[in-house]
Amino acid sequence: MTEMPYCIGCGVQIQTEQKDEIGYAPPSSLDKEEIICQRCFRLKNYNELQPVSLTDDDFLRILNGLGERKGLIVKIVDIFDFNGSWLPGLHRFVGNNPILLIANKADLLPKSVKEKKLLNWMKQESRKLGLNPIDILAVSAHKGTGVAEAMDAIEQYRDGGDVYVVGCTNVGKSTFINRVIKQATGEGDVITTSHFPGTTLDMIGIPLDDERSLYDTPGIINHHQLAHHLHTEDLKAIMPKKEIKPRVFQLNPEQTLFIGGLARFDFINGKRSSFTVHAANSLNIHRTKLDNADDLYAQHLGGMLAPPSAEYKEDFPELVRHEFRIKEGKTDIVFSGLGWITVQHDDVTIAAHAPKGVEVIVRPSLI
Ligand code: GDP
């Protein structure tokens, strides 16, 4: 079998079989000299992420409702799950309303990461996904860092209007709003419930002034979130609780790293070099030979390779392999919702295995 080519856009290895999976390009494109995967093609030409169905009808109605109302949309994303916590289609529903992006869980970033670089990357990525935020801020709702600044920004950008906070589950939307409530109302009893037209939902409103409120919209489950595939106990293990400590591994080609049983990273080709894992400190990283990796996973998933724990491993999606050729050193391979591995050296070929449906993306390193 001849080796499949790589996308000139994102570097993923092309496949022509599964339309909904990463790296897909129509078989006819294989005749071309330069091949671009369908995802990059659509981003480039239509500024649009491949449609992912939103299952929650109420949420769609709310989004529709937002476009008809005037107000500032505050979209909260998880710094560790930028792509998994994206709300596909939001840009089509918000009308002309400005969007303020708030990246939460900044307390988990290792010191080596430049927050500015991260915010820049998020801004670029948002644009690629069709959203043009008016501003982007990093906060820690948990610790309260940046929340006062975020409130000032909200006050400035809402321009006297209402505010709608949107986000998918687990990004920390409730934690953030609770902080805002405390700061805005001094824990007074002023929260109102307001019926959102066209839906069966009551939204919580926090008065901003005599006429305007900040509304919490229900979080939506994004089925691409890694968190969505895990049971609560396993979820605790992958959610970093403290600042992440980068872990460095010197690898030879044909070595593999397992991040618990959640993901796998193969160093296929290139000079011996270092790879830095950024994931929850409590997750075990297991190194093995590439040759052994399939067997090891089959035998030890739920045991040595956990989470998922033995109890839940049957429900865990299979790992899907995405191969990348990395031309430049200092590149991050991001496993949405889990963390990322920084490839330090240039000219290497790697394969990232992530649970089916969970995105793997490549970005310049944030260090
Ligand atoms: P929601 O589903 O978006 O409303 O999310 P929650 O507010 O319930 O938070 C989801 C999880 O993320 C909880 O375990 C929170 O403790 C955690 N969390 C929320 N904000 C932060 C934060 O700023 N830093 C950290 N480390 N964890 C956070």
Give the whole-angstrom CA distance, residue 134 versus residue 158: 11
Q: Which atom belonging to ligand 1 lies closest to the Cα atom of 241? A: 26
Tokens found for residue 125: 């990525």
Nearest CA to ligand 1 atom 24: 105
Nearest CA to ligand 1 atom 9: 172
Query: What separation in Å is there between the alpha carbon of 144 and the centre of ligand 1?
Result: 12
Q: Which atom belonging to ligand 1 lies closest to the Cα atom of 177? A: 7
Nearest CA to ligand 1 atom 7: 172
- Domain segments of the chain: what residues? 1-46, 57-216, 232-364
Mutate to test the pocket of ligand 1, among 170, 178, 220 (most ligand atoms within 8 A of CB): 170
pLDDT at 279: 95
φ and ψ at residue 212, rounded to 5 degrees: -110, 150
User: Beta strands 71-78 and 99-104: pairing type?
Assistant: parallel
Query: What separation in Å is there between the alpha carbon of 189 and the centre of ligand 1?
Result: 23
Q: Residue-wise pLDDT tens for the chain (367 aa)?
A: 578 888 776 677 899 998 877 788 999 888 888 888 886 676 555 544 333 333 456 666 667 777 777 899 999 999 988 888 887 777 777 888 999 999 999 999 999 999 999 999 999 999 988 889 999 999 999 999 999 999 999 999 999 999 998 888 788 888 888 788 777 766 554 555 555 544 444 566 777 888 888 887 766 667 778 887 888 888 888 888 899 999 999 999 999 999 999 999 999 999 999 999 999 999 999 999 999 999 999 999 999 999 999 999 998 999 999 999 999 999 999 999 999 999 999 999 999 999 998 989 999 999 8
Pocket of ligand 1, beta carbon within 6 A: 104-105, 107-108, 140-142, 167, 169-175, 219
φ and ψ at residue 357, rounded to 5 degrees: 95, -20
Tokens found for residue 154: 């909200």
Give the whole-angstrom CA distance, residue 87 versus residue 84: 8
Query: What separation in Å is there between the alpha carbon of 244 and the centre of ligand 1?
Result: 16
Mutate to test the pocket of ligand 1, among 142, 178, 204 (most ligand atoms within 8 A of CB): 142
**CATH fold label, 57-216:** Rossmann fold (3.40.50)
Give the whole-angstrom CA distance, residue 75 versus residue 56: 18
Nearest CA to ligand 1 atom 12: 172
Q: Which atom belonging to ligand 1 lies closest to the Cα atom of 178? A: 7
Nearest CA to ligand 1 atom 5: 172
Nearest CA to ligand 1 atom 18: 172
- The angle at the Cα of 314, spanning 83 to 287, to the nearest 5 degrees, equals 65
Which amino acid type is present at position 321? R
